[in-house]
């Protein structure tokens, strides 16, 4: 988000002349406006967003099904019970309209492939898999995809499902051992990759993966005679993606349509806790999750249920959140535009694409929140006054369910933020990690669009609960979607009891996985006798039926005095400081307090340090200076107090780390979650030192 930071540093959001000329008229215009919040559908109450399933006691289903006998909905469109049929629906409504978009060069406008062309190319690549590579067109054939998001990723996936084959994504950052494990675990014969470097990675472990026979390379020009000759030494053939497209076009195979209970994808976890596990997800699972999302859109923002919607794609397609976003767009006949490959330049892609839908994660929203906070603390008192006035007025509207981007406050103050996201957003959806209420509120104010928060995990496809448009409150992740039921189970050792509406979150419904691939032992651990998925997360059901995640069973630990703490809650407070880019909080059961590694915001800390010392030291040198350590420490403690962290939850010592946690260095998952075991291992000796061991 470099240009966003430049916006904060170098551009004025509000000019002094506008301030003096229009402030009186603006206030009058605002006070005279009469607006009402987004209303719930007839028969649905925001005060009762979940209702009990009568025959099962305290089991909750979506309030959108209130008064209906259905526990959940498996499909939003009766004619579409598989992803194949969902895509046909999009094809029918948007045949020659745009489907998949990309930028041929860094600064070029987006080029789009139509639905008809996407389906034709998918048929061709699928036909080539069968006729040329010799795989069987059935639900036992697994096609690996080891590539960054692109039109070819989607085309290969759709091509596989046209012939009932199963997609198996490999994360770019899994590392050789994990990738080797997945290829070996599945016995896959064919993998689609984006470039020659992936071929080299796969060949480095080929002795342990004898099933692999064909590697298909997307990037034109990367398939050299030298590369093919090297692979052939190991009985592996390397092919060009475009060459297979051509072959498939000359030898078209008849479609083998998948059935609802057929596997669609095996999504391996990112290995945050050890050996990756392959979550098996069927067409039925994905179709149900799509139903959960689109039912909310139909109920609250029906004007968005059309082919005009376009989403930016940058979260990895090996993650189910992004998969569900894709299939929602395909069901609507909408389009997807892929980012250039560098998330730091994401806003440049968004300005070129002008998306209406923005799938995102708290990590990015926290960055925006920091920029917003910086503007609210503008040093110019007049500007600061107007900014805070604008913010408070829009926040009042947000809390009343009024979402807008055309108010006087937007035109004067917030349109700069909105233009960085393309200026056309109607909906943003966040998931994969907790987000603070303050961050959510600020982004709703500044973005001028609905921002929904979902909760789920790969084992329930992606989403089990989601907030409703027009719900301006924060601190919860919504009610059960129409594809799931929720109940709580006692966690007595942590003093959580379902009778008090607190406990481990359990999920059931057509979106829930059938289990782990080739792993019956772990599958058995996943479900209870009634078939409920155990999430390991601690939730609280609020009076209006929404779910609030209050702890994480798997990450909670006990300090020496017997108090339990949830480190992610604390981290989410600390990263709100303008001096903090990332935070990792940990503890020891033999110690009475917490410690933390803080990755500072380089520009902020460097600027402060120079103003204090007059020195132009490097970030590494600054991080080693106790003066800087003390300053950041006091900053985060102040944030902790403002956010009501108790004394046990406040860290007592910190270390400033100049190198960020990244996907590339193995400390973040591809969806930017902290890999806690890896972080703990990396900083073990440091923490021992901080504890004085």
pLDDT digits (tens, 9 = 90+) for 393-430: 999 999 999 999 999 999 988 998 899 999 999 999 99
Helix (H) or strand (E) holding 335: strand 335-338
| Distance in angstroms (rounded) separating the CA atoms of residues 439 and 474 | 9
Instruction: For residues 170 and 224, state if they share a domain.
Output: yes
Give the domain-ending residue among 511, 532, 552. Answer: 552
The rounded distance, in Å, linking the Cα atoms of 22 and 658 is: 44
Whole-angstrom Cα distance, residue 160 to residue 166? 6
415 phi and psi, to 5 degrees? -65, -20
Q: Read off the pLDDT band of 381 (50, 70, 90).
A: confident
CATH number of the domain encompassing residue 477: 2.30.38.10
- Domain range enclosing 384: 2-32+356-552
Between 518 and 35, where is the model more confident?
518
Q: What percent of the chain has pLDDT over 70?
A: 92
Cα dihedral 60, 64, 68, 70 in deg (nearest 10): -60
In a domain, 338, yes or no: no
181-198: per-residue pLDDT in tens?
Answer: 999 999 999 999 999 999
Last residue of one domain, picked from the residues 534, 552, 570: 552
What is the DSSP code string of 514-582? -EETT-HHHHHHHB-TT-PEEEEEEEEE-TTS-EEEEEETTT-EE-TTS-EE-HHHHHHHHTTSTTEEE
Task: Say yes or no to pLDDT of 693 above 80.
Answer: no
Tokens 């057929």 correspond to what residue? 262
Strands (E), 407-457: 427-430, 450-455
Work out the average pLDDT over 336-345.
Answer: 93
CATH number for the domain that contains residue 165? 3.40.50.12780
Q: Are residues 512 and 569 in the same domain?
A: no
The kind and range of the H/E element at 413 are none
pLDDT bin (cut points 50, 70, 90) of residue 175 is: low
pLDDT of residue 359 exceeding 80, the answer is yes
pLDDT over 90 at 553, yes or no = no
CB atoms within 10 A of CB 527: 18
456 neighbors 464 (Cβ within 8 angstroms): yes
At residue 304, the pLDDT reads 96
| Residue 23, pLDDT score | 53
Weakest mean pLDDT among 65-69, 77-81, 361-365, 465-469: 361-365
Do 484 and 565 fall into the same domain? no
Banded pLDDT at 4 (limits 50, 70, 90): very low
Number of domains in the chain: 3
For residue 272, what pLDDT is reported?
A: 45
The closest alpha carbon to 50, from 481, 643, 505, belongs to 481
Residue 15 pLDDT: 46
Residue 66 lies in a domain: no
Please list the alpha-helical segments (H only) found in 168-214.
175-186, 196-203
Greater pLDDT, 344 or 70: 70
- Sorted by sequence, the CB contacts under 8 Å of residue 55 that are 6+ apart come out as none
Residue 101, in any domain of the structure: yes
Closest CA to 144 of 115, 183, 177: 183
pLDDT for res 554 = 67
- Return phi, psi of residue 631, to 5°: -65, -50
Confidence of residue 21 (pLDDT cuts 50, 70, 90): very low
Residue 33 pLDDT: 53
**Per DSSP, what are the bridge partners of residue 486?**
60, 507
Residue 418 lies in a domain: yes
Q: Are residues 570 and 480 in the same domain?
A: no
Each residue's pLDDT tens digit, 136-156: 999 999 999 999 999 999 999
Nearest Cα to Cα of residue 194 among 215, 224, 163: 215
By the 8 A CB rule, do 586 and 687 touch? yes
Do residue 160 and residue 91 come from a single domain?
Answer: yes
* Pairing mode, strands 263-268 and 479-480: unpaired
Give the CA-trace dihedral at 115, 116, 122, 124, to 10 degrees: -160
**Cβ(405)–Cβ(429) below 8 Å:** no
**On the CB side of 687, how many CA atoms lie within 13 Å of its CA?**
21
684 and 548 both lie in a single domain: no
| Tens of pLDDT, residues 653-684 | 999 999 999 988 989 887 788 888 789 889 99
Report pLDDT for 28: 43
Do 279 and 411 lie in one domain? The reply is no
CA dihedral 461, 462, 463, 467 (to 10 degrees): -160
- 108-117: long-range pairs with CB below 8 Å, 24+: 109/352, 110/337, 110/352, 110/353, 112/335, 112/337, 113/151, 115/90, 115/91, 115/333, 116/91
**Residue 363 near residue 581 (C-beta atoms within 8 A):** no
Rounded to a whole number, what is the distance in angstroms from the first to the last CA of the chain?
Answer: 40
| Domain membership flag for residue 350 | no
Model pLDDT for residues 495-542, shown as the tens digit of each residue: 789 999 999 999 999 999 999 999 999 999 999 999 999 998 889 999
What's the distance, CA 680 to chain centroid?
Answer: 24
Tell me the Cα Rg of the chain.
26
For residue 562, name the pLDDT band (cuts at 50, 70, 90): low
Q: Looking at the structure, do residues 149 and 24 belong to the same domain, yes or no?
A: no
pLDDT by residue (tens digit) across 99-135? 999 999 989 999 999 999 999 999 999 999 999 999 9
Average pLDDT over residues 452-470: 96
3-state helix, strand, coil in the chain (%, to 5): 40, 20, 40
Do 546 and 579 fall into the same domain? no
The residue among 499, 481, 477 whose CA lies nearest residue 550 is 477
pLDDT exceeds cutoff 50 at 487: yes
Q: Report helix, strand or coil for 338.
A: strand
Q: How confident is the model at residue 310 (pLDDT cuts 50, 70, 90)?
A: very high
- Mean pLDDT (the chain) is 90
β-strands 502-508, 533-541 pairing? antiparallel
State how far the Cα of 544 lies from the Cα of 479, in Å rounded to an integer: 9
User: Please, what sign has the CA dihedral across residues 29, 8, 668, 571?
Assistant: negative
Q: Which residue has the higher pLDDT, 170 or 274?
A: 170
Instruction: Give me the torsion for CA of 152, 157, 161, 165, rounded to 10°.
Output: 120
Shared domain check, 561 and 546: no
Question: Which of the residue ranges 15-24, 221-230, 248-257 would you say has the lowest mean pLDDT?
Answer: 15-24
CB 267 within 8 A of CB 278: yes
| Interval 213-251: pLDDT, tens | 999 999 989 999 999 999 999 999 999 999 999 999 999
Whether 149 and 318 have beta carbons less than 8 Å apart is answered as no
Residue 320, CB-side half-sphere exposure with 13 Å CA sphere: 33
User: So what's the pLDDT on residue 173?
Assistant: 62
Judgement on whether residues 456 and 379 belong to the same structural domain of the protein: yes
User: Is the confidence at residue 269, as pLDDT, over 90?
Assistant: no
- Do 652 and 595 touch, CB atoms closer than 8 A? yes
- Of 552, 572, 589, which one is at a domain's C-terminal end? 552
User: Which pTM value belongs to this model?
Assistant: 0.82
Structural domain contains residue 367? yes
**Tokens representing 377?**
């603390």
Q: Are residues 579 and 546 in the same domain?
A: no
Q: Of 660, 584, 662, 683, give the one whose Cα is nearest residue 172.
A: 662
CATH number at residue 625: 3.30.300.30
Is residue 56 assigned to a domain?
Answer: no
Return the pLDDT at 6: 44
Can you tell me the distance from the alpha carbon of 428 to that of 361, in angstroms, rounded to the nearest whole number? Answer: 10
């Amino acid at each position: 988000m470099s240009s966003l930071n430049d916006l904060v540093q170098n551009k004025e959001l509000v000019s002094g002349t506008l301030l003096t000329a229009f402030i009186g008229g603006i206030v009058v215009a605002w006070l005279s406006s009469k607006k009402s919040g987004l209303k719930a559908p007839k028969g649905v109450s925001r005060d009762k967003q979940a209702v009990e399933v009568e025959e099962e006691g305290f089991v909750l289903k979506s309030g959108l099904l209130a008064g209906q006998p259905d526990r959940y909905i498996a499909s939003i469109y009766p004619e579409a019970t598989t992803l194949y049929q969902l895509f046909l629906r999009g094809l029918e409504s948007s045949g020659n309209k745009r489907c998949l978009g990309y930028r041929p060069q860094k600064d070029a406008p987006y080029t789009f492939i139509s639905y008809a062309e996407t389906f034709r190319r998918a048929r061709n690549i699928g036909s080539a898999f069968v006729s040329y590579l010799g795989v069987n067109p059935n639900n036992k054939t697994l096609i690996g995809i080891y590539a960054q998001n692109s039109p070819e990723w989607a085309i290969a996936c759709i091509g596989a499902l046209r012939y009932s084959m199963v997609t198996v994504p490999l994360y770019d950052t899994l590392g050789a051992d994990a990738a080797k494990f997945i290829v070996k675990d599945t016995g896959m014969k064919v993998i689609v990759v984006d470039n020659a470097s992936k071929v080299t990675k796969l060949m480095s472990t080929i002795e342990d993966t004898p099933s692999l026979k064909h590697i298909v390379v997307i990037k034109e020009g990367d398939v050299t005679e030298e590369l093919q000759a090297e692979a052939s030494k190991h009985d592996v053939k390397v092919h060009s993606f475009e060459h297979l497209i051509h072959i498939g076009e000359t030898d078209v195979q008849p479609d083998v349509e998948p059935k609802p209970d057929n596997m669609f994808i095996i999504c391996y976890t990112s290995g945050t806790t050890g050996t990756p596990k392959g979550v098996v997800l069927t067409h039925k699972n994905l179709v149900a999750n799509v139903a959960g999302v689109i039912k909310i859109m139909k109920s609250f923002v029906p004007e968005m249920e059309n082919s005009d919607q376009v989403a930016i794609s940058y979260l990895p397609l090996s993650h189910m959140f992004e998969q569900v976003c894709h299939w929602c767009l395909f069901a609507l006949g909408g389009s997807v535009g892929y980012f250039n490959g560098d998330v730091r330049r994401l806003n440049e892609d968004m300005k070129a694409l002008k998306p209406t839908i923005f799938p995102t994660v708290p990590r990015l929203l926290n960055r925006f929140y920091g920029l917003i906070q910086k503007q609210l603390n503008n040093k110019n008192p007049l500007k600061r006054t107007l900014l805070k006035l604008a913010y408070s007025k829009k926040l009042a509207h947000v809390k009343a369910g009024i979402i807008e981007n055309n108010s006087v406050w937007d035109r004067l103050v917030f349109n700069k933020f909105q233009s960085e996201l393309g200026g056309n957003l109607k909906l943003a959806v966040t998931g994969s990690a907790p987000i603070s209420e303050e961050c959510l509120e600020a982004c709703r104010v500044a973005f001028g669009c609905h921002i929904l928060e979902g909760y789920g995990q790969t084992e329930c496809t992606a989403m089990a609960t989601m907030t409703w448009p027009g719900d301006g409150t924060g601190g919860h992740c919504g009610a059960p979607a129409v594809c799931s039921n929720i109940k709580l189970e006692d966690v007595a050792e942590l003093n959580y009891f379902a009778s008090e509406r607190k406990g481990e979150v359990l999920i059931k419904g057509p979106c829930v996985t059938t289990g782990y691939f080739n792993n019956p032992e772990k599958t058995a651990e996943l479900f209870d006798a009634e078939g409920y998925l155990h999430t390991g997360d601690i939730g609280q059901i609020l009076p209006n039926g929404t779910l609030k995640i209050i702890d994480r069973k798997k990450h909670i630990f006990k300090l020496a005095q017997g108090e339990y703490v949830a480190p992610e809650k604390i981290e989410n407070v600390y990263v709100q400081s303008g001096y903090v880019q990332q935070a990792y909080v940990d503890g020891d059961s033999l110690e009475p307090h917490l410690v933390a590694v803080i990755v500072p915001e380089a520009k902020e800390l460097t600027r402060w340090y120079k103003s204090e010392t007059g020195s132009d030291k490097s970030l590494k040198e600054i991080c080693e200076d106790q003066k800087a350590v003390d300053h950041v420490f006091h900053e985060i403690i102040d944030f902790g107090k403002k956010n009501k962290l108790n004394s046990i939850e406040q860290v007592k010592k910190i270390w400033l780390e100049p190198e960020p946690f990244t996907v590339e260095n193995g400390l973040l998952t591809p969806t930017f979650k902290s890999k806690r075991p890896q972080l703990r291992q990396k900083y073990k000796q440091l923490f021992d030192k901080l504890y004085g061991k």
